[in-house]
Amino acid sequence: MSPDASDEVLPPNHQEFPDGSLLRVVFHNFLTYEHTCFVPTASLNMILGHNGSGKSSIICGICLACGGSPKSLGRSEKIIEYIRHGCQEGYVEVTIADEKKGPQTVRLTIRIGKAPEYKLNGAQATQSDVNELRKYYNIQIDNPCAFLAQDKVKSFSEQSSIELLKNTEKAASDDLDKKHRDLVEQRKDTMTIEEMCSTTEKTVKHLEDSRTKILPLVENYRKKLALQTKLRILQKKMACVKYEQADKEYQAELKRADEALVEYRRVENDIRKSEEVMKKLNDRLQKERAQMAELTRAANGNLVEIQDKFNKNLIGNMMEKAKMKLENAERIADEHNQEVEKTRKNIETVTEKLEEANEALVGYDDALVEYRRAEAKLSQLERENRREEDAIHAKSYELRRLEDKSREKDNETSNFMKQRYRVLQEANEDLAKAWTWCRKNRQQLKGEVYTPLIDIVLNTPESAKNLENTIGMRDRQILVCQFKEDELLVNGKHQPWSINTAVVSQNNIHRDEIHATLSSELHQAGFKDLVSNCFDAPDTLKQYLCNVSGLNRIPYGTIDESKLESITERLERLRFSVFLANGMRVRFYNLFILSYFVFFQFQATRSRYNQQKNISTQTSLRDARTWKDPVYRQPLTLKKADNTAAQEYQKLKQEFDNQTEDLREKRRNVQKERDVLKKTQLEWKSKQELQAKYRATLNTEKRRLEIIQKESFDLSKAQEEYANVEQTVMEKARAMLEKNLHNQKEYIEKYRELGRCAVFESICKLKVTKLYAKSNESREELNNLEDARRLAEDEMNAAMNKRKVAQESLKTHCELDHLNEAKMEPADKKLYSKMIELFEESNVPTQVDDLEQAITSEKTRLKVAQDSGEDGSIEHEHKLSEINSELANATSKYEKLIQNRQGVHDKLGTEIKEWKEEVEKMIERINENYIKFFDVLGCRGEVSLETPENPLDIEKYGIMIMVCFRKGENMKRLDNKVQSGGERSVATMLYLLALQQLCPVPFRCIDEINQGMDPTNERKVFDIMVGLWNGTSGSLTKTQYFLLSPKLLHGLDMRDNVNVVMVNSTLNTSHGQLYNSISKIRKTFTHLRIAE
């Protein structure tokens, strides 16, 4: 890159460049460049330079000149801010290679206050023309796989699996991307059919419910008269049945009362006889009990004497001990023989293993001498490394001091956000808590969450007053989400606050509304701009405010009040209804629309010339309160100015990193050699330990055999002792039995007499018990009979009263006094016969419960029919017929929709299956490269298709990336909660490299992709990139590359076709103060080929 190069400079071999690659880029008053011409090569162009030197300006110029949007750069979205500071205009020009047409030149000129201007080969052109040219050469500025601007790596790695699949399809195949979008639209159509099925099903249910509601009215109309007749018959039958039952109950109760009195007298006589017999038996029982007590005392005395002279456990204990001693001696003898045999076998086995261990130790002495010699050499290298480490530590202290100084300046950037949060907290405490919760739990949300009091930036001081008079109080204190799921999570029932929320998805953002411009007609009328352009805010928030407050349709400015009528007509023609002008807020209405509104503190005027009957309302503009704080005129992020301290820090950090990496490499080499020596020494040590182990084991087993063989056991002695104990036990037992025989005979005689007395006592007790039980039973029976007698009398009286009531009911319903046909008068007999025939014809129940249930049921039906509010009529009959007809039609339509839905689902499933097979093939190709790249790093990674539970949910398919950076761990999904920033950066870069094989483009730009990587992974990733871009096959070897980086590791593999471009701020001899001497700066100029 040469600041003095002419715009006409082209590479000497520019005719050999592939079509679409860049031949030249010229910058004039663009960002950091006053006038510079950059001439790249056709292969890899590595652009190096410290932060702030202007590396990213090259990427920005290429993007904008090729028709790209400033939003894709991650910088300012206003294109005029890309003009060099202090200049009114600037341009950037790119020359594109074309073998047939010759070099194609595109120039973008940016002027303050005017729209950007494009020129194609010197002729005026539009941005659409440039986009067509870009599409012709397949230049993909908006594809992150081909054009990755600074700070876009993080956003690329944090996208969801669904977004990753969509971006991958865009990068790999337009057909796949189009087919995916078509399938999403087809899925929406199937959802429409499902909604129609649901609506038709609800219609069928509604008709069925209507039919269910009208049926009771029709039935009531048909059955009401029949119910009344049947009820009277049932009541007559009930009167007859109840009278018959009451009469039968009365006769039965009368008979039961007489029987109870007779039984009561009999039981009284039995009780008296039992008491006399019991008295005689009790007297005899007392005498027998006294005699039995005397005999028992004598027998107990003999028993105590027998127990004292006889020990029944002595014999058993002596024999048991002798037997256990003999069995123990036999067991010990067997175990001794087995132990001797086992020890001899162990000695033979250990002897064989010891001989093998001795053979393995041959050559140990020579290996020991070699080990000591190598250990001395490694110790010397380690001492040299420690001295170098001390020098690195001294440099790290200086680096930490510069880093602390830089951190102090970074803390100043958060002050504006804190001030905005205090305004939010004062306005709505709950909203402030909810916003804080969203920031702490951002990983749970699918998208961003915005609020006006935090995310709005005013462009001018007067903007505060415009927003104060256009945005309502509710809309100022609201959270706007991008997804419905986020709204449910933020403002669900489980949250302790109560706030207002809204959802504006990406599909509902209309660029023509949020970036609307004021027409020239209104500008001539005196209006300055639209309210939507007087502030900056995220697109989601701005779209919401345009939706609810119509900011994109509210102009403001200063107008001539004498032309108010013509201005109003002009605004009405453009469908504007509100404007701010001359300190007033004016709104005009159609007269009939205003008729039901009530306004306070406004002036209403009506034009006498307007034939459409329009009126307008004017209110004074309120002073700014919510937006009066100056913090709303400050941007949310502050740009850091370049300074000497930052340059010094970067330089020192680069030296520190280089020395640290060299030291680590040396120590790794030393450690590798030490590990080899240690492994060899451990092998010899293991052999020595094995030899010593077998030798010690052999000696132990031999000593053990000697000890065991010296032990001896005499089994015959134990058998003789057992025989002597048996003889002694038999003699002692014989003597004890003879002594106790006499005492037992006396004891038996006493108990014979005692048994006779006990038998007589038992007989007396049994008789007394039986008599006593019989007497108690008789008394209980007497009490029961007394209760039964009284109960029988009460029931008899109740039955008589019941019969009287039944007789009155019979008289009322049947006009009869009784049902005894023999005692009836002739008229009563005739009436009774007709009534019996009616009962038989109507099949009336004969049981009281059945009759009561039937009467209750008939009364209920009759009351429902009477209390229904409408007795039913012939109109209800006709209405029922219409409902049945409509129900049949709706049911037929529902069945056809079900069949249609199944057909659509089958077709969609087939197309999704075909699309899925193509996507899986694409992902398989990506996965092969991804696995290969991770193997180079010594890690594991794979890419697969994530399939939803319902295969028809095409919008839920995604790409899942699994990675593992440590040995012994399972692969985990790539996620910002699991992996570190450096690991995510490595995984993202390798995914982009794996994807690039599927996306051939004429040139690629990558800005600072290596930031966040550790030196080891950065070196391996660079080797992979250089290997891919400098190969002999594949689409990547024919592509032009621009790789930007603020630093690069030492010792990288630089091929001949790698073009290294150093970007520096303008250098001259006045910068000598940054160096140690003038000679050093001259040497630097000579190395960089810069003339003084």
Tens of pLDDT, residue by residue over 37-49, are: 989 988 888 888 8
CA dihedral 221, 226, 232, 237 (to 10 degrees): -140
Taking CB atoms within 8 Å and a gap of at least 24, the contacts of 882-886 are 883/207, 883/210, 883/211, 883/214, 884/211, 886/207
How far, in Å, are 686, 706, 996, 1018 from residue 1025 at the CA level? 46, 76, 11, 10
Last residue of a domain, one of 595, 626, 657: 626
Which residues, listed in sequence order, are joined to residue 105 by a DSSP beta bridge?
Answer: 95
pLDDT at 773 over 50: yes
pLDDT at 359 over 90: no
pLDDT at 959 over 50: yes
Contact 587, 617 (CB under 8 A): yes
Q: What is the pLDDT of residue 579?
A: 87
Q: What is the pLDDT of residue 1075?
A: 38
Instruction: CATH number of the domain at 51, please.
Output: 3.40.50.300
The single-letter code of the amino acid at 564 is: L
Q: Which of 551, 588, 552 lies closest to 568 in space, CA to CA?
A: 588
Range 456-483 average pLDDT: 89
Range 646-650 average pLDDT: 66
Phi, psi of 849, deg, nearest 5? -60, -45
Place 660 in a pLDDT band, splitting at 50, 70 and 90: confident
Supply 388's token pair. Answer: 């170098």
Look at residue 488 and tell me if it is in a domain.
Answer: yes
Q: What is the secondary structure of 353-365 as a DSSP string?
A: HHHHHHHHTTTHH
Number of domains in the chain: 2
Longest dimension (CA), the chain: 155
Which pLDDT tens digit goes with each residue over 265-319?
Answer: 777 777 777 777 777 777 777 777 677 777 677 766 666 666 655 555 556 666 6
More confident residue, 842 or 713: 842
More confident residue, 591 or 427: 427
Which pLDDT tens digit goes with each residue over 981-1009?
Answer: 778 878 887 887 787 767 777 887 877 76
Place 413 in a pLDDT band, splitting at 50, 70 and 90: low
More confident residue, 450 or 691: 450
Q: How far apart are CA 894 and CA 197, in angstroms?
A: 6
Place 150 in a pLDDT band, splitting at 50, 70 and 90: low
Last residue of a domain, one of 593, 626, 659: 626
Look at residue 748 and tell me if it is in a domain.
Answer: no
How far, in Å, are 255, 280, 720, 783, 997 from residue 936 at the CA level? 113, 118, 86, 107, 17
Contact 935, 924 (CB under 8 A): no
Place 814 in a pLDDT band, splitting at 50, 70 and 90: confident
Q: At what angle do helices 644-710 and 312-360 cross, to 10 degrees?
A: 120
- The whole-chain average pLDDT of the chain stands at 77
Q: What is the pLDDT of residue 595?
A: 31
Place 537 in a pLDDT band, splitting at 50, 70 and 90: very high
Q: What is the pLDDT of residue 866?
A: 67
Look at residue 104 and tell me if it is in a domain.
Answer: yes
Look at residue 608 and tell me if it is in a domain.
Answer: yes
pLDDT at 896 over 80: yes
Look at residue 909 and tell me if it is in a domain.
Answer: no
Look at residue 775 and tell me if it is in a domain.
Answer: no
Which pLDDT tens digit goes with each residue over 1029-1084?
Answer: 665 555 566 678 788 877 766 767 666 677 888 887 655 545 444 434 445 445 55
Contact 647, 408 (CB under 8 A): no
Look at residue 330 and tell me if it is in a domain.
Answer: no
The single-letter code of the amino acid at 788 is: A
| Beta strand 89-96 pairing with 22-30 | antiparallel
Domain that holds residue 1007: 14-155+1003-1034+1048-1061
What is the residue whose two structure tokens read 């009774």?
832
| Residues near 181 by beta carbon (within 8 Å), at least 6 away in sequence | none
Q: How far apart are CA 855 and CA 235, in angstroms?
A: 7
631 HSE (CA, 13 A, CB side): 20
Q: What is the secondary structure of 319-335 as a DSSP string?
A: HHHHHHHHHHHHHHHHH
Q: What is the pLDDT of residue 1084?
A: 52
- Predicted model pTM: 0.40
In the chain, % helix, strand, coil (3-state, to 5) comes to 65, 10, 25
pLDDT at 424 over 50: yes
Q: How far apart are CA 866 and CA 280, in angstroms?
A: 82
Last residue of a domain, one of 601, 626, 651: 626
Q: Which residues of 226-238 are buried (b: 16+ CB within 10 A; e: fewer)?
A: ebeebbebbbbbb
More confident residue, 833 or 944: 944
Q: What is the pLDDT of residue 482?
A: 92
Look at residue 367 and tell me if it is in a domain.
Answer: no
% of the chain residues with pLDDT over 70: 80
How far, in Å, are 459, 469, 584 from residue 581 at the CA level? 18, 12, 5
Range 604-615 average pLDDT: 44
Q: Which residues of 879-897 are buried (b: 16+ CB within 10 A; e: fewer)?
A: beeebeeebeebbeebeeb
Q: What is the pLDDT of residue 3?
A: 41
The single-letter code of the amino acid at 231 is: L
Q: How far apart are CA 400 and CA 152, in angstroms?
A: 28
